[in-house]
Structure 1
Amino acid sequence: MESFRLSLTPDEQKYLKDLVRLAIASRLTGRGPVTPPEPSTELLKSELGAFVTLKREGNLRGCIGNLVGNGPLFQTVWNMAQAAAFQDPRFNPLTVAEMDGLDIEISILGPLEPCPDPQLVEIGRHGLIMRRGANQGLLLPQVPVEWGWDREQFLAQTCRKAGLPATAWREPGTEIYWFEAVVF
């Protein structure tokens, strides 16, 4: 896999993080724009997949994303911010009181490719998708780092996320895909 190179300026990163806050606040209050303000740089208008992760006091509060770009990056981030805040089925919708102290992490995804050999997976570099039949699970590259997992644990946990046995990554019929991400 060729390394995914995407260079966002500090201003572009700030724009996207501010956009997440605006998307959530406008939905919470019913005031403000219902669509995102257009960015000034072309990179933010390119079609890329993205995930928005919300945390409070170090605990996950919501995480939703799109694997591939199906519109401009800024629009994807806006939509995923609202989805992470209000539609993550693992959590109740975010409240106004939770806005203070909300930590935002954005992951911009590179291309999704079949993983040629699970032993090539690098912790902190690759995100994974396991797929078999109707089951599919995804873990972002930062997840095994946060949990202190080694490669085998990462593969097993991605299988579990897909609702598969932990050893399914070794079995024929299980498709493994990998990707890289820029995380900030």
Structure 2
Amino acid sequence: MSNSILLKIAKDAIEEELYNKSKIDRVDLEASFDFLNEQRACFVTLKLEDRLRGCIGSLLPDKKLIDDVISNAQNAAFRDFRFQPLSKKEFENVKIEISLLTIPKMVIYDSIDELKEKIRPNVDGVILKQEQNKATFLPQVWDELPNFDEFFENLSLKAGLDIDSLTHFPEIFTYQVEKVK
């Protein structure tokens, strides 16, 4: 798999929307790179000066990788509700990272201690789901929140739940990523 082509597609997708011009030749890319036709889920993370500037992705592989990269790159740049849309000036300096996800697997646990044993910091991305509330942190978030309790408290808040949501035994799924940067 060519990492540079994925990054180029993400950058071109942002540029297409920013400047309202066509840059991506899907037909040629799909013919030249078979892996772009695979059903894969990805996240696109944007950073400026090592600070998060946007991050949007898919948890399940429901479209071709090329389509997932394009839509997630554009959404991370222009539709992440935490940020203003990316400006032309910011575009010149933005760093793009793509995380290719494995299929999430449910974690079966009977206690928080058992969950602590099954979660692998810096390896596992985590999805926390309770009723209609759901959120995820990519494995990279462990860099900022290396403590299990702090990680899950913040993930719970992101999902719109109380920080002690683990006491209610929400569904937990894990996945791993292949980072492209």
Q: State TM-score, norm by structure 1.
A: 0.87
Is the counterpart of residue 168 in structure 1 residue 160 in structure 2? no
Extract unaligned runs of 5+ from structure 2: 110-114
Q: Which amino acid aligns with 1:180?
A: Q
| Structure having the larger proportion of residues in helix | 2
Structure 2 counterpart of 1:139:
137
Query: Cα deviation per residue 1:120-142 (whole Å; 9 max; x = unaligned)?
Result: 10111101111112211110011
Structure 1 counterpart of 2:149:
152
Structure 1 counterpart of 2:77:
85
Contact 1:122 1:151 in 2 (8 A): no
Query: Cα deviation per residue 1:32-80 (whole Å; 9 max; x = unaligned)?
Result: 2476452422222110110000011111111100111221111100110
Query: How much has 1:148 moved relative to structure 2?
Result: 4.3
Taking the aligned partners of 2:53 and 2:79, their CA distance within structure 1 comes to 11
Q: Which moved more, 1:71-80 or 1:25-34?
A: 25-34
Contact 2:12 2:24 in 1 (8 A): no
Contact 1:169 1:176 in 2 (8 A): no
Contact 2:9 2:24 in 1 (8 A): no
Is the counterpart of residue 180 in structure 1 residue 173 in structure 2? no
Structure 2 counterpart of 1:20:
10
Query: How much has 1:113 moved relative to structure 2?
Result: 1.2
**Partner secondary structure for residue 156 of structure 2:** helix
Extract unaligned runs of 5+ from structure 1: 1-7
C-alpha RMSD of matched pairs (Å):
1.5
Is the counterpart of residue 64 in structure 1 residue 56 in structure 2? yes
4+ long deviations beyond 3 Å: 33-37
Query: How much has 1:155 moved relative to structure 2?
Result: 2.0
**Partner secondary structure for residue 125 of structure 1:** coil
Structure 2 counterpart of 1:111:
103
Contact 2:59 2:101 in 1 (8 A): yes
Taking the aligned partners of 1:101 and 1:157, their CA distance within structure 2 comes to 29
Taking the aligned partners of 1:33 and 1:41, their CA distance within structure 2 comes to 17
Contact 2:128 2:156 in 1 (8 A): yes
Query: How much has 1:152 moved relative to structure 2?
Result: 2.4
